[in-house]
Structure 1
Amino acid sequence: MRTVGNDLVRHQLHENRKWYLGLGIVLTLFGLVLLASLPFATLSVVFLFGILMMIGGILHFVAAFKIFEGGTRWLWALFGVLYLVAGYYAFSTPVKTAVVLTNLLAIVLIVAGIIRIFSAIIFKAYQGWGWILFSGLLTLITGIIILMSPDASFWVLGLFLAIDILFQGINYLTLASYIKHEVPQSSADV
């Protein structure tokens, strides 16, 4: 019985390998294009943020009037208004939104770096604490560089998006290659 399940999984992997390959190529190319045009990529992030905030606002309104009752209803409706305002702000002032989001990202990186450094100090007696310290220092320095760079809001968010999409593409290409070279064909494919 286990062999039938394994054959089915192998068959599905080989059947979908071309989709993984195609998606990998598209995402890799898209990531490279975004790397070449970081201000455009940053604006894409800002507009995506705006869309998600507006969707969140609508969902909060739906929840307020379809799920909740009494005082909590109005609290959810207030959250819906705040989400919609944030989404509108992202669309109407994308550069300011990019500055705000970039500064928030830098602050989060600085706080995360400090927490990792303290964690490394606490776990100094354990093997591998040096990697935690290194990670904390790197995260802290990255946050400081972003916060100190006057033009960071024009490229940082785009860089994060471009690198994420590029690595997703590489991941799919690697999966397609692995399936082709390492996963044996099922008996149904032979």
Structure 2
Amino acid sequence: MRTVGNDLVRSQLHENRKWYLGLGALLVVFGIVLLAALPFATLTVIYIFGALMMLGGIIHFIAAFKIFEGGYRWFWALFGVLYLIAGYYAFSTPVKTAIVLTNILAIILIIAGVIRIFNALLFRAFQGWGWTLFSGILTLVTGVIILMSPDAPFWVLGLFLAVDILFQGVNYLTLASYIRREVPKSSAEQ
């Protein structure tokens, strides 16, 4: 019985391998295109952010009037309004939104870097604390560079998106290669 389940899983992996391969190749191409056009990639991030904020506003309104009652209803409706305003702001002023989001990202990186450095110093007695220290310093320096770079809003968010898409593509390609090399075909396919 167990062999039948394993055969089914192996068969499905081999059937889907071409989809992993195609999706991986497509994502790698998109990642490279976005890397070549970072301002466009950043604009894409801003519009995705705006759309998600507006969707969040609509969901908050639905929740306010379908789920909640009394004072909570107006609290959720207020959040809906704030989300809609943030989404509208992203669509109407994408450059300002990119500046704001990039600065928030830089500040978060600086805070995270300081916390990691502090944690590394607290745990000096433990093996591997140096890697935590290195990670903290790298995160802190990245945040400072982003915050001090006047043109960062035009490339940072796009770079994060492009690198993420590129690595997702590489991940799918690696999975497809692994399936071809390492996963034996089911006994029915052999």
TM over 0.5: yes
Structure 1-normalised TM-score?
0.99
Displacement after TM superposition at 1:3 (Å):
1.5
Displacement after TM superposition at 1:112 (Å):
0.4
* 2:59 matches 1:59: yes
1:68-118 alpha-carbon deviations (Å, 9 max, x no partner): 000000000000000000000000000000000000000000000000000
Structure 2 equivalent of residue 87 of structure 1: 87
Structure 2 residue runs without a partner (length 5+): none
Displacement after TM superposition at 1:48 (Å):
0.2
| Amino acid in the other structure paired with 1:122 | L
Deviant stretches of 4+, over 2 Å: none
Structure 1 residue runs without a partner (length 5+): none
Structure 2 equivalent of residue 103 of structure 1: 103
Pairing 1:13-162 to 2, within 5 Å after superposition: 13-162=13-162
- 1:8 is paired with a residue whose SS is helix
Displacement after TM superposition at 1:158 (Å):
0.1
Query: Equivalents in 1 of 2:149, 2:188: separation in Å?
Result: 58
Structure 1 equivalent of residue 169 of structure 2: 169
What is the count of residue pairs matched by the alignment?
190
Query: Equivalents in 1 of 2:37, 2:171: separation in Å?
Result: 22
Query: Equivalents in 1 of 2:100, 2:188: separation in Å?
Result: 55
Identical-residue share of aligned pairs (%): 79
Point out the more displaced range, 1-10 or 90-99.
Answer: 1-10
1:127-162 alpha-carbon deviations (Å, 9 max, x no partner): 000000000000000000000000000000000000
Query: Equivalents in 1 of 2:126, 2:119: separation in Å?
Result: 11
Query: Equivalents in 1 of 2:53, 2:63: separation in Å?
Result: 15
- 1:98 is paired with a residue whose SS is helix
Structure 1 equivalent of residue 185 of structure 2: 185
| Amino acid in the other structure paired with 1:142 | T
Structure 1 equivalent of residue 5 of structure 2: 5
Query: Equivalents in 2 of 1:6, 1:164: separation in Å?
Result: 32
Displacement after TM superposition at 1:188 (Å):
2.1
1:15-38 alpha-carbon deviations (Å, 9 max, x no partner): 000000000000000000000000
